[in-house]
Amino acid sequence: MSTTISVNKQNVKQFLESGKEKLFVIPEYQRPYAWTAAQVETLFEDLWEFASTTGGCNRNGTYFLGSIVSYENENNEQEIIDGQQRITSLFLLLRAIYNKLQKNIARVSCDK
């Protein structure tokens, strides 16, 4: 039996949008989330530095987040095989931003 591997180079936006069609899952055999606050801070500071300089508004810079390896399982889900610490950290950041924006929207609409 032969195995076919296809490589799909995507930017972060494309990758995250693919989660609308196929859910991201981290298989049980993967190690638990283990990044320290320092590792998360390093990632966020690196992203901030990129966004505020090279890749900010109206710039065409690129940022290499690292390889993310996923596998489409029999349930049509994307199992994250490699990169789960980075992906989990990014989802936590995005969720925190979303929550903050929701609170600000609620506060502004209540002030009217």
Give residue 40's pLDDT. 93
H or E element at residue 24: strand 24-25
Is the whole model's pTM more than 0.85, yes or no?
no
Count the neighbouring beta carbons within 10 Å of the beta carbon of residue 37. 7
- Encode the chain (112 residues) as per-residue pLDDT tens digits: 666 777 788 888 888 898 899 999 999 989 999 999 999 999 999 988 888 887 767 677 778 888 888 888 999 999 999 999 999 999 999 899 999 998 888 776 665 5
Give residue 89's pLDDT. 94
Give residue 112's pLDDT. 57
Give residue 5's pLDDT. 73
Residues 6+ apart with CB under 8 A from 50: 61, 63
Give residue 43's pLDDT. 92
Count the neighbouring beta carbons within 10 Å of the beta carbon of residue 80. 20
C-alpha to C-alpha distance for 8 and 95, rounded to whole angstroms: 26
In this structure, are residues 61 and 50 in contact, taking their beta carbons and an 8 Å threshold?
A: yes
Give residue 111's pLDDT. 58
